[in-house]
Amino acid sequence: MKKIILSLFSLSILLASCQDEPTIIDAELHLDGVNNTAPSFDPMIYTCAARFSAGITAEHFGKDLEEVEFFFIELPEQVKVQVFAQGTPTEPGAMLYEADVSANITPNGWNRHTLTSPVQVIGQDLWIALECSQNSRKQTVGCDVGPAVSGGDMIFTEANNRWETFRDLTGSESINWNIRGQLSE
């Protein structure tokens, strides 16, 4: 009996000492798999996005989008992390967050940006995007081997001036962008 009481007392001290710890990230939004490559883009401004449907975000209602993770092969001249509210299945709604992260990213690997103003998940579509601007042909935003899942390969290009899937843009490529959202309470 003394061992049980001592164990419960030790557990309560351990739990009390953890209360001052920073928030632990406990959920991830992603539609992609392991990075495989990155498509080549001509010089232009384009935006690659992952649209997380209400069916996905509903289970995280009330949590905050705290960080965005993304994979880059080569670096464009400018990169902005953007988060959009629900719009339609083929076009995002209002911009909820934007930050220029050009100076803080590295090539050939995963990058992480902590949002200066977390975005609350309200159970509606949430678009997480990377707007890129480049002056030469480069392989930039990473992608998996596919197959594409709904919302995993959204893209907006200056030339087409509309949102579409990467499959529609290329006519055949079936991938998902390596763009992820980290959530916490």
Phi, psi of 61, deg, nearest 5: -50, 130
Tell me how far CA of residue 138 lies from CA of 9, 43, 107, in angstroms. 59, 8, 12
| 152: pLDDT strictly greater than 70 | yes
Reported as a single tens digit per residue, the pLDDT across 168-182 is 999 999 999 999 999
Reported as a single tens digit per residue, the pLDDT across 11-41 is 333 333 333 333 334 589 999 999 999 999 9
CB 173 within 8 A of CB 67: no
CB 127 within 8 A of CB 179: no
Q: How would you label 56-75 residue by residue, b for 16+ Cβ within 10 Å and e otherwise?
A: bbeebeebbbbbbbbbbbbb
Reported as a single tens digit per residue, the pLDDT across 85-120 is 999 999 999 999 999 999 999 999 999 999 999 999
Q: Structural domain boundaries of the chain?
A: 23-184
Fill in the DSSP letter of residue 141. Answer: B
Query: What pLDDT score does 26 carry?
Result: 57
Q: How would you label 83-99 residue by residue, b for 16+ Cβ within 10 Å and e otherwise?
A: bbbbeeeeebeeebbeb
Instruction: Say how far apart CA 177 and CA 162 lie, in whole Å.
Output: 18
CATH of 23-184 given 2.60.120, 3.30.70, 3.30.1360, 1.10.10: 2.60.120
Largest CA distance in the chain: 74
Fill in the DSSP letter of residue 64. Answer: E
| 164: pLDDT strictly greater than 90 | yes
Tell me how far CA of residue 59 lies from CA of 53, 91, 122, in angstroms. 11, 22, 10
